Amino acid sequence: DGTAYIVAERADLRHTVAENVVLESVLPLLLWLPVSAVLVWLLVGWGLRPLYDLSRQINARRSDDLAPVALHNPPAELRQLIESTNSLLARLAAAFEREK
């Protein structure tokens, strides 16, 4: 059959379609980026709040205050740190008592 077909489209229409595709795919990403950043910032701050509270409590102590650290309902990740800190404080208190 040897028939050849030539298909053409206008360059300006192709450019318009390409622009629309880019805008439809990139624009939502650009709009969600600040929203996502704020959400991540809030969630990380919320997740690290117990660690901040523990740090603030320890920094507020007097140098001679060797009482155990108490944090209301700490997350499991901080319990071991609190237990280790309290164990250290108890050993320091015992050492100071022996020195007296």
pLDDT tens digits along 33-89 = 999 999 999 999 999 999 999 999 999 999 899 999 998 889 998 999 999 999 999
Residue-level pLDDT at 72: 87
DSSP-H helix ranges across the chain: 11-59, 76-99
pLDDT of residue 27 exceeding 80, the answer is yes
Is residue 7 predicted with pLDDT exceeding 90? Answer: no
CA distances to 37, 39, 74, 84 from 43, in Å: 10, 6, 17, 27
pLDDT at 1: 75
Cα–Cα–Cα angle for 66, 67, 72, nearest 5°? 135
Give the pLDDT score at 78. 92
